Amino acid sequence: MSNDPSPPAPEAEDEYGDEEQPRETNEGVSQQLADEAATDAAGTDKTATDAVGTDKAATDAASEPADDGATGEDGTGSTPDIPPEVQKYARFKKMDGAEYDRVNEFLRDRTYITAREWAIARLCADFRTETGVEMTKIGNNLPYLVPFMTDTYTPQAVNQARSAFEEKIRKAGATFLYGAMSGFFTAEELDDVMYEVTEVAKFLLEVEGVDLAVAEELAAEDKISSVMREVRESSEELRHDEMECPHCGHEIGGEK
């Protein structure tokens, strides 16, 4: 029996609904991500493999083709019925041995997207051509492309997952931007929020196989912080007719 859900019929399956869990605070998020990455999601060593509840037999089973008659070794180390670009796809290799349920739980605790939506959105971005997304190729080869996905999907199911991902990103973006512009957070509190969400985003990128240099990480964080400071200052002008900040009394747009 596969660990990831079969291609969903009702779109309500993507909604957070009853599965919503309490959100975590931003305290110690970096260390917590590092610890849980080793035990829940990454599956890069024996400890991680044991933590996700798999053993060698389960890992081998997860990597087997969805259709036993569709592929086979031809003596050259390749599977002849799988397109070359699928065989060479290198994303999600750090997730070898991970089960769908544990990956999904990790994402549910920190984001609004499911493991299915995350994986398929990435595949749709990587398998985009001048004429559109190769949804049939993605669906037919999904177990080969993503270690924790063990079912093939129809093109319609692939499109549904991508659409659900995009809708959730828009809603989450609107929610976050409203929170940043509303004045509910002080500048320091907003920095804490930005630090937490940036750590989660960087972790997901690293799991996908993106190699983030320390200098690049620091530069990205500085740029994000600078933009968010500008957003907060601009929102003050939108929310107050007077040009004096209600918090510190300095003239908005002037010197402090």
Q: Which own/partner pairs from 228-234 qualify as long-range (CB within 8 Å, at least 24 positions apart)?
A: 228/180, 228/190, 228/191, 228/194, 229/187, 231/177, 231/180, 231/181, 232/180, 232/181, 232/187, 232/190, 234/181
Residue 156: band (very low, low, confident or very high) from pLDDT cuts 50, 70, 90: very high
Instruction: Choose the weakest-confidence range: 72-76, 157-161, 232-236.
Output: 72-76
65: Cβ contacts below 8 Å, ≥ 6 apart: 71, 79, 143, 144
pLDDT at 77: 46
pLDDT at 46: 42
pLDDT at 221: 77
Q: If you search the block for the tokens 């996700």, which residue do you land on?
A: 52
Mean pLDDT of 63-77: 39
More confident residue, 14 or 83: 83
DSSP at 19: G
pLDDT at 92: 93
Mean pLDDT of 168-190: 89
User: Hey, how many other C-beta atoms are within 10 angstroms of the C-beta on 215?
Assistant: 8
Q: How far is CA 125 from the centre of its chain?
A: 13
DSSP at 248: T
Q: In whole angstroms, how far apart are CA 161 and each of 57, 96, 144?
A: 29, 22, 18
Hey, what's the torsion of the CAs at 9, 12, 14, 18, to 10 degrees?
-130
Residue 8: band (very low, low, confident or very high) from pLDDT cuts 50, 70, 90: low
Instruction: Choose the weakest-confidence range: 53-62, 184-193, 212-221.
Output: 53-62
CB of 88 closer than 8 Å to CB of 141: no
pLDDT at 29: 47
pLDDT at 11: 44
Is pLDDT above 90 for 60? no
Cα–Cα distance, 84 to 71 (Å, whole number): 13
Residue 5: band (very low, low, confident or very high) from pLDDT cuts 50, 70, 90: low
CB of 87 closer than 8 Å to CB of 146: no
Strand partners, 251: 244
Tell me: the pLDDT tens digits for 103-147?
Answer: 999 999 999 999 999 999 999 999 999 999 999 999 999 999 999
Is pLDDT above 60 for 91? yes
Cα–Cα distance, 128 to 197 (Å, whole number): 27
CB of 3 closer than 8 Å to CB of 148: yes
Is pLDDT above 70 for 47? no
Mean pLDDT of 85-96: 91
Element housing 128 (H / E): strand 128-129
CB of 4 closer than 8 Å to CB of 149: yes
Cα–Cα distance, 254 to 56 (Å, whole number): 64
Element housing 194 (H / E): helix 187-208
DSSP at 37: I
Q: Tell me the percentage of the chain whose pLDDT exceeds 70.
A: 62
